[in-house]
Structure 1
Amino acid sequence: MDPELPHYARTHSTTLRRDRRTSAGANSFSSSPSLSTRTPVEHLYHLTSSKGRPWLTLKVISNAPASTFLPSFYEGEPIKGSVTLDLTKEESIKAISVQAIGEMTSSVTEILNFVQVSETLWKSSAPPEPSSPSGSQNASKLVGEHSWPFSLTLPPVCQVRLPTATAETFPLPGSFSERLARVHIQYQVIATVHRSRFRVDNSVSTIIGYIPIIRPEAPSIARQIAYLENTPLPGPEADPEGWHCLEPLQVRGSVFSTREVDAKCTFALAKPLTYTRGSVIPCLMTVETTDPQALDLLSSPRSLVVRLLRQIATGEASLSVTPLGGKRLPGLDYERAVQGLATAVWRPDSSRNPHKRVLHGEIHLPSMLKPTCHLGKFELTYSVAVYAPKAVAFQPDGDAEAVLQQLPVVIGTAYAAGPRPRIYSPPAYDDASSRASEFLIFR
């Protein structure tokens, strides 16, 4: 079950942007709309005695939809709860603690703890709390029921020491676990009863979801007006600040295997190149050729092929992590995998130039898409790729499946300031949007 929470829009008028290389995003959550409109949910996890009686309970409070979901937290949101001890007889205990940790694991290596925050809730040198019923008079022993609240906040960044011995700061990555992926990133909350040297400690824990706040900058004023008025998005000519135009692409091939065709295709993506999952990536394609029949074929909405690609890469070098003092990142065999997630949906422009067609497109982003992240030699990145048109009776020169142009993009988790992006087209039915949580294609 995916632990992530639904997305939300920001209503505050001030623009906040998460800097992916600094800790500037540490306070970005506080300016986001509160999730307090949803009733907080209590998640309970127990250790029981041989008779089935709970004696150690970890309670975590989150804004998950229900207690059957894993607790989930956005960047900057405190992890709150309590640890309850209920003992029928007096026991010697050194301390009670709680910690939140982030781990990256590989299927062939050890676990890397890249972040850890902890709190000691009780020590044997301290007397029991007067408010606790049945409290023991022995400072090293406890009996009866005791409860300690806690509040932990994960830092927005961690430091990783690279093979060059230089430490680099990375934003904490979001939770990442997929069926066929070799690398998994998960967070846990662990409550521990520490006992004497010759006795085994007792722990109860749960996995939690962590979602970093990645927010795009506000779009151009012209696009914001279009969203507010529900009008078509202005193109690059009317809104040059709102688009990133790639170099014109020469597409050559043959029509009906009888004559050669030379067309020019110009692709543009809406700026900024950071897009919120659950929304769309606006794009635009201009097709130009002096062959009227070829123009109709190449500018058909079903002919243009533009896809969102996801790439997962893991490095082979060993790293060390600063927060845990000396622990080493195990070696990861180099691997690079690419998955096609979604295909652009196109609609033609109303203008009818005899040698030119303009098509407006959108790439629909699944709401549970994993956000862009980078931790040491692990990268989860996205790009938009342009392929040769797949038109009826048109045969392109060269490899028809080759990527002709590619532009990196960032997938975020929060909306930009201002109006939310509007969706002008239905989703495509031939893409992998419904399978975005699976790791399907390896190259």
Structure 2
Amino acid sequence: MDVSPPSYRRFSSVRPGLVPENVDELPPYTRRTAALPNEPAIRRGPTEHIFFLTEKNKNLATLRLYSSAKSSKSLPTFFEKENINGILEIDAEKGDSIQSITAVVTGRIITGANAGDTVTFLNHSLPIWSKSRDVPRIPSPSEGASKAKLLGRCEWPLSIPLPRTVVAPNGTGSKETYHLPETFLERHTNASVQYDFTIHISRGLTRSDSRIKTAFGYIPNTRPAPPSELRQLAYHHGSPLLGPHSDPSGWKSLGPATARGVMYRQQPVKVECLLSLAKPLSYTRGSIIPCFMALRSSDENTLGLFSTPSAISVKLLRRVRFLNPDNLWDESVQEVGSASWWPSAGVQSHPNACHMEGEIKLAKDLRPSTAIGHFSVSYHVSLQQFDVPHYQAQEKRPLVSEPVEIATTHAKAPRPKAYAPPEYTSTVRPTEHIYAVPYSSGLTPFPT
């Protein structure tokens, strides 16, 4: 299932990401007529998914769902604020004992194979048809669905809204309101978030009940706040980004931190480093995280080694946390991105200080930041120990770490632009699992 933000297609509504009108310093923007990268030039209609209920080699019921999935072979996929639209068709023979037909939408957090290892946070039922006149019915254009007993080919149009929020237990005995989480299912993670759509066909005592069931994907709409006005101007004009010195409101500086260790097992070295991340600390998947690094050392040779792009190790780490069947917290941390670095052209360096620009490329299929009940997906950017030949760090823990959010939709501002020169762009997407202890120095940022 491709969930690339630039390719979002909503057949129910389209909300363009434009710059807020109250930003007087920005030039007027015009809507681009050409297709954006990764965005189809022609917006297609909804994708049809067909499911059958077959008994004795005969189709008794057909469910057609229309979703934002790119292919009918994919799971039906619905974005926040979209309805589950479809058509249910039933061929009822004379003497069929159907008592009622109900649509059920469920959302569950699953952490094990037993029934007790599942938490249902969404359970919405909608009566479609019932033999009893006291139960509401969905209007049907079929004459055979208007009586107390179904007969012939009966059809019901479906349009079921999905709630934006749900109330679920928070683990402390009380309940909280949460946004619906995105579908989460990964081979190496023992927790999943799954959604199902089911048509229940209830019959009398002489025949067993039947159902049509399909899983579906859900994608929430989470959007970062706009970046600083100066960064918006840079994206709009395609000009270089201004660093923390020229655009202080557009960056958050972490630390500073000090890398201490020895070279060649005997020569003590010390390098002060100040990592800055673009604000706000929320980034859309499929885009980039702009970074800036200031380095300072009393030894010019040491500074040259530590300012080599391959020596600076800044990782994007994802933490998945959930309560396992043993009622214990299970947590895994995985590297999902690594920063590319190059010398800054906007800030002048000198023998004892240099400045580097960088960015972390975000995969299009990153799961967004999520927290609901006993399950969460969170991210943080971590400055690891420097990777310098013949250097042994005094400590193994990260030098500094900062929580960030991953969103699904672009901010209402010009799209972020990648600036990494080709020779500094990393083409490897790390997949190994690492465990990091967040640490942040309380020192005052050093002057540059």
Q: TM-score range by the shorter chain?
A: 0.7 to 0.9
Matched residue, 2:221: 213
2:382 corresponds to which of 382, 385, 397: 385
Matched residue, 1:429: 427
Aligned mates of 1:153, 1:35 — CA distance in 2: 28
Matched residue, 1:68: 73
Aligned mates of 1:410, 1:364 — CA distance in 2: 14
Matched residue, 1:96: 101
Aligned mates of 1:290, 1:170 — CA distance in 2: 51
1:273 corresponds to which of 274, 277, 281: 281
Aligned mates of 2:383, 2:59 — CA distance in 1: 58
Aligned mates of 2:199, 2:41 — CA distance in 1: 26
Give the direction of change, closer, same or farther, for the CA distance of 1:95–1:73 in structure 2 (3 Å limit).
same
Contact 1:11 1:418 in 2 (8 A): no
Matched residue, 2:407: 412
Letter aligned with residue 142 of structure 2: S
Matched residue, 1:235: 243
Aligned mates of 2:302, 2:319 — CA distance in 1: 34
Contact 1:3 1:70 in 2 (8 A): no
Do structure 1's residue 114 and structure 2's residue 146 form an aligned pair?
no
Select between 249-258 and 66-75 the one with higher mean Cα deviation: 249-258
Give the direction of change, closer, same or farther, for the CA distance of 1:169–1:129 in structure 2 (3 Å limit).
closer
Give the direction of change, closer, same or farther, for the CA distance of 1:197–1:161 in structure 2 (3 Å limit).
farther
Give the direction of change, closer, same or farther, for the CA distance of 1:36–1:162 in structure 2 (3 Å limit).
farther
Letter aligned with residue 125 of structure 1: S
Give the drift of 1:428. Answer: 1.7
Residue 146 of structure 1: SS of its match in structure 2? strand
Contact 2:47 2:68 in 1 (8 A): yes
Do structure 1's residue 302 and structure 2's residue 315 form an aligned pair?
no
Aligned mates of 1:210, 1:265 — CA distance in 2: 41
Select between 415-424 and 348-357 the one with higher mean Cα deviation: 348-357
Contact 1:98 1:192 in 2 (8 A): yes
- Give matches, 1:279-294, under 5 Å: 279-294=287-302
Letter aligned with residue 195 of structure 2: Y
Contact 1:308 1:342 in 2 (8 A): yes
Give the drift of 1:14. Answer: 6.8
Give the direction of change, closer, same or farther, for the CA distance of 1:267–1:441 in structure 2 (3 Å limit).
closer
Give the drift of 1:395. Answer: 2.6
Contact 2:140 2:146 in 1 (8 A): no
Identity of aligned pairs, percent?
Answer: 33
Residue 216 of structure 2: SS of its match in structure 1? strand
Select between 93-102 and 72-81 the one with higher mean Cα deviation: 93-102
1:176 corresponds to which of 177, 184, 188: 184
Matched residue, 1:195: 203
Map Cα deviations across residues 177-220 of structure 1 (whole Å, 9 max, x no partner). 01121111111111111222564221101111001111000000
Aligned mates of 1:205, 1:168 — CA distance in 2: 29
Aligned mates of 2:412, 2:138 — CA distance in 1: 49
2:49 corresponds to which of 39, 43, 54: 43
Give the drift of 1:131. Answer: 4.2
Matched residue, 2:271: 263
Aligned mates of 2:301, 2:355 — CA distance in 1: 16
Gaps of 5+ in 2: 9-14, 22-38, 437-448
Matched residue, 1:354: 351
Select between 81-90 and 297-306 the one with higher mean Cα deviation: 81-90
Give the drift of 1:89. Answer: 3.4
Select between 141-150 and 207-216 the one with higher mean Cα deviation: 141-150
Aligned mates of 2:46, 2:419 — CA distance in 1: 35
Map Cα deviations across residues 70-117 of structure 1 (whole Å, 9 max, x no partner). 111111111100111013433122111212111111124423221122
Give the drift of 1:138. Answer: 5.8
Contact 2:252 2:277 in 1 (8 A): yes
Give the direction of change, closer, same or farther, for the CA distance of 1:356–1:14 in structure 2 (3 Å limit).
closer
When the two structures are superposed, what TM-score results if normalisation uses the length of structure 2?
Answer: 0.83
Give the direction of change, closer, same or farther, for the CA distance of 1:414–1:194 in structure 2 (3 Å limit).
same
Give the drift of 1:172. Answer: 0.8
Contact 2:92 2:151 in 1 (8 A): yes
Matched residue, 1:366: 363
Contact 1:305 1:388 in 2 (8 A): yes
Matched residue, 2:32: none
Give the drift of 1:68. Answer: 0.8
Aligned mates of 1:280, 1:117 — CA distance in 2: 37
Give the drift of 1:344. Answer: 0.5
Matched residue, 1:27: none
Map Cα deviations across residues 10-64 of structure 1 (whole Å, 9 max, x no partner). 6344769xxxxxxxxxxxxxxxx999922211100001121x2211111110121
Letter aligned with residue 400 of structure 2: Q
Aligned mates of 2:183, 2:138 — CA distance in 1: 37
Gaps of 5+ in 1: 17-32, 317-329
Residue 399 of structure 2: SS of its match in structure 1? strand
Matched residue, 1:145: 153
Give the drift of 1:270. Answer: 0.4
Map Cα deviations across residues 291-325 of structure 1 (whole Å, 9 max, x no partner). 11001100011100000001111136xxxxxxxxx
Do structure 1's residue 132 and structure 2's residue 118 form an aligned pair?
no
Aligned mates of 1:313, 1:419 — CA distance in 2: 34
Aligned mates of 2:356, 2:113 — CA distance in 1: 47
Give the drift of 1:3. Answer: 6.2
Matched residue, 1:19: none
When the two structures are superposed, what TM-score results if normalisation uses the length of structure 1?
Answer: 0.84
Give the drift of 1:359. Answer: 0.5
Contact 1:7 1:413 in 2 (8 A): no
Q: CA RMSD, aligned part only?
A: 2.7
Aligned mates of 1:96, 1:390 — CA distance in 2: 63
Give the direction of change, closer, same or farther, for the CA distance of 1:303–1:138 in structure 2 (3 Å limit).
closer
Give the direction of change, closer, same or farther, for the CA distance of 1:35–1:336 in structure 2 (3 Å limit).
farther
Matched residue, 2:395: 398
Map Cα deviations across residues 105-157 of structure 1 (whole Å, 9 max, x no partner). 11244232211222211111359978426x28861x22211010111111111
